């Protein structure tokens, strides 16, 4: 068996390591955090280290005894690990998105969103133009060069990224047939849907909330439709204050502030008719897959490579430009036949991106 060390720093994605479970691999978790109530499920299953320079050598000793290290989100501390790991250890970067997208923030914010992040956009421009002056940037790009493979979900995103980053490592698609949150619609209990539209998945500025809220505010909203805005995690700032202010002026809108536990969220989309994500980048993919499996009508921005991927795979997906008309006419539901079609497309995806094939590609990398 090949020994794999999985290095995490976000509790929400630790479960992602389960894709490697099987006969080929001996998997160990290493969590860059202190033990606390949020990660108590892993207190006896993982090694814990604070992401501090004093701990780097001890972490490297553990990693260097493995065949493969998988890093979930390539941040500054993980970049330091990658750049010092022995050459005999293979390195897989489980791409989350923010590592690259945040370095070209100007491409993913709408005009309304940009006005709240002027200083960030200026800093991004300076770092991009004078990368060699910033240690964090130099170490990050050096770590990309050291990685043996990048794992993300679909080739359309990888091809999109290669337009702007020419030296990305080999692409390995993530398996899709062992997703714990993919609970399919139960037509007896989840259909017909209520007249509910969900906006976004978090407080993240990548959602470009203000554009959608203005659309809702100015359209002749069908009286039967209710709006729910998922706003239950992410940092607070002037942007989120403005979103709250805007949402409070929409009579039919309810802002969901409290974080929903996984066992509750898995059923959240059951009664929901439609959801809207105005991100220009791959974002909240697990959220979207959960919604689609529950028969939800999904609206995405056409700039988003996820829109291209879903359309290429034959799913019924709608553009943001369709939203105004549908909110006014009440056409926010998928039919049973359309839901069945989307579920069939998902089944094809699961067959095409199986855990077995994923394991074989990882083994090829190791051999």
CA distance 298 to 342: 11
Tell me, what's the pLDDT at 180? 58
Q: Which CATH number is 315's domain given? A: 3.40.50.2000
Residue 87 within any structural domain of the chain: yes
Paired sense of beta strands 196-199 and 170-173, if any:
unpaired
Residue 289 within any structural domain of the chain: yes
Tell me, what's the pLDDT at 181? 56
Residue 268 within any structural domain of the chain: yes
Q: List the one residue out of 107, 61, 335, 297 whose CA is nearest residue 198.
A: 297
> Does residue 362 share a domain with residue 226?
no
Alpha carbons within 13 angstroms on the beta-carbon side of residue 85 total 29
> Does residue 357 share a domain with residue 343?
no
> Does residue 290 share a domain with residue 143?
no
> Does residue 251 share a domain with residue 165?
no
> Does residue 274 share a domain with residue 242?
yes
> Does residue 113 share a domain with residue 18?
yes
> Does residue 347 share a domain with residue 221?
yes
> Does residue 197 share a domain with residue 161?
no
pLDDT tens column, 221-265: 999 999 999 999 899 999 999 999 999 999 999 999 988 887 788
Q: List the one residue out of 114, 124, 94 whose CA is nearest residue 19.
A: 94
Kind and range of the H or E run holding 324: helix 323-329
CA distance 278 to 109: 10
Residue 182 within any structural domain of the chain: no
Alpha carbons within 13 angstroms on the beta-carbon side of residue 66 total 23
Low-confidence ranges of the chain (pLDDT < 50): none
Tell me, what's the pLDDT at 213? 98
Query: pTM of this prediction?
Result: 0.93
Range of the domain at 340: 187-351
> Does residue 113 share a domain with residue 210?
no
Residue 280 within any structural domain of the chain: yes
CA distance 127 to 103: 8
How many domains are contained in the chain? 2
| Residues in a beta bridge with 276 | 199, 299
| Residues in a beta bridge with 152 | 173
CA distance 49 to 9: 10
Tell me, what's the pLDDT at 129? 86
The tokens for 353 are 């991106």
């Amino acid at each position: 068996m090949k020994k794999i060390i999985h290095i995490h720093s976000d509790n929400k994605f630790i479960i992602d390591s389960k894709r490697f479970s099987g006969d080929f691999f001996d998997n160990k978790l290493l969590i860059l955090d202190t033990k606390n109530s949020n990660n108590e499920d892993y207190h006896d299953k993982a090694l814990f280290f604070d992401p501090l320079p004093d701990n780097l050598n001890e972490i490297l000793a553990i990693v260097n005894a493995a065949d493969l290290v998988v890093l979930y989100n390539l941040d500054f501390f993980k970049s330091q690990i990658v750049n010092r790991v022995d050459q005999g250890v293979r390195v897989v970067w489980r791409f989350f998105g923010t590592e690259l997208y945040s370095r070209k923030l100007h491409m993913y914010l709408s005009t309304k969103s940009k006005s709240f992040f002027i200083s960030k956009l200026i800093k991004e421009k300076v770092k991009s133009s004078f990368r060699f002056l910033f240690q964090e940037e130099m170490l990050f790009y050096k770590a990309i060069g050291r990685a043996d493979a990048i794992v993300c979900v679909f080739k359309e995103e990888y091809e999109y990224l290669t337009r702007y980053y020419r030296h990305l490592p080999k692409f390995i698609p993530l398996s899709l047939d062992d997703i714990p949150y993919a609970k399919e619609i139960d037509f007896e209990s989840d259909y017909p849907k209520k007249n509910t539209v969900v906006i976004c998945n978090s407080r993240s500025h990548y959602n470009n909330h203000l554009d959608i809220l203005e659309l809702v505010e100015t359209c002749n909203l069908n009286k039967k439709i209710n709006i729910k805005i998922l706003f239950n995690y992410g940092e607070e700032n002037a942007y989120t204050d403005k979103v709250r202010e805007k949402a409070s002026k929409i009579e039919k809108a309810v802002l969901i502030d409290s974080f929903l536990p996984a066992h509750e969220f898995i059923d959240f989309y059951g009664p929901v008719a439609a959801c809207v994500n105005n991100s220009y980048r791959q974002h909240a993919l697990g959220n979207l897959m959960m919604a689609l499996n529950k028969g939800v009508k999904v609206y995405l921005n056409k700039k988003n490579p996820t829109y291209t991927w879903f359309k290429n795979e034959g799913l019924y997906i709608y553009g943001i430009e369709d939203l105004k008309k549908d909110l006014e006419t009440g056409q926010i539901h998928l039919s049973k036949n359309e839901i069945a079609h989307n579920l069939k497309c998902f089944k094809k995806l699961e067959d095409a991106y199986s855990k077995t094939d994923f394991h074989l590609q990882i083994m090829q990398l190791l051999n």
